[in-house]
Structure 1
Amino acid sequence: MRIARFSIDGNVAFGAVEGSTAPGAEGELVLDIIKGIPFADFELSGVKVPLGKVRLLPPVLPNKVVAVGRNYAEHAAELGHSVVDDRGRLEPPITFFKPSTSVVGSGDPITYPSFSQDLHHEAELAVVIGRMCREVPKERVKDVILGYTCANDVTARDVQQREKQWARAKGFDSSCPLGPWIETDLDPADLTIQCTVNGEQRQLGRTSDMVRSIEDLVVHISEAMTLLPGDVILTGTPAGVGPLNVGDEVAVTIEGIGTLTNKVIKRG
């Protein structure tokens, strides 16, 4: 099931997306409005609205976004890093936070921060947590995941390099586009991740190239902190990250989910 969060006539709701997004598919996508919220038992109301008549919102408003750095070896290498130590052992996962205020939805603008001159895209698969959990064993990880969505870990690369810690570089307003919806029925083990800027391909990778699996990441993160319904885990980006400029349109497409599209604007 694809679950979208949207606004219509000043009201915010969740809905199940019906129809096909495949190229050449006929018919307009519609939303069957959900009774309640998708983090508990819910029913479809049968009240349907065309997707074109609503404004898509970020599919969740997370309490926290926990992001993972250097989870693709080729991306780590392109920034001059390795995912293994001198003895050939995997380095521990690098984790960091993006605040809830960084989250925007598909179609929302990415505002170029005034304190940066080198903004980069980072296409990522995002995991949406469906229930409160802590110290999750590997065999139970699937039970705590609601679904998956597309993400862009937008990064002020010059600030990241200059300040040595990533709070401002990756946590500024609009630095975490999510969307367009959550796909709940998906095997994330081997999916294509693509990023285009103004229609030109910049990134192309597969989730099977992750250094640490989604199960390993959830186990690692939940050892330290309680995850709440709607929390999001960003699983890392493939190689090919690069600059964004004011006026650019950046799109993240993940197989089985859809496309997250945002335009870069100048801060007013």
Structure 2
Amino acid sequence: MADISFQEFSSKYTDANRAPDATAYDFATLGNAVKQLQSVDNGSISQIAPAIIATILCAQRRGDAVPKLFSDLVEGKEAEEVKSLFASFKHAITLTWPFIGLPHCIPACLGLAHELEIRNITVDSQLDRTGLHEADWSLKGIETHQAIYRGVGNSEVGRLMGGFFPEISHVVGTALFGFLIGGSDKVQSLRLSQITVAAAIVGTGATRQARSHFKGSLGLGNSLAAIKAVLGAAESVAAWNGTVLSGEFDFAALEAEAKANLEKA
């Protein structure tokens, strides 16, 4: 495909939402953030490190940078390696778009799809799990929510949302915790899916929810070092993007709370 066609596609789809004064893409900064995550805690989250940065970019409303990062990371790679990284990015966006907002993720999705098309690489377009109407995703959602929130101990949120916003609560339980997160258990472990979700949330600046999902991540076996590294990566991406994440994190307190909640569960 001619360069002009690529530029036309980017202008129409990938870069369409980017602010005129947005920070220019910088692989040195974003690639370093990937490397930092890959090296932490003996590589405990290395396999999802690039995808974590991708979802933080979407959370920062910089989905336009995701296909550029992808392109740099797969430069010189064989088709199977390209497909593998695409699958990781795809899964991270699938998990996190409800937390981030779909309009902030679509530029990344379209750009990633185009990156495969210009390389003449195809992927399976079928669902990787049973459809919403073909399984009891509500039950799966309850199981997944309980597994994550054993370390969180925040029942008041569930009570208020269920009591006053039952429609949102139902969709979150069935579609989000059931189909999207719980249904991903054959794709990757809940431990890795949960820390990806936590990364997306902290990338939006939603501090209270990020604290909860960091505790949930700890409860599922992610290390404190990995959690700290995710926050550091989000802060690095935010600084590159000219934004500041709100709120502070007392990691010792979060770790103690998660441990106490697990002991009570």
Q: What interval of TM-score do these two structures reach, taking the shorter chain for normalisation?
A: under 0.3
The normalised TM-score by structure 2 is 0.24
Q: Which has the higher strand share?
A: 1
Q: Which has the higher helix share?
A: 2
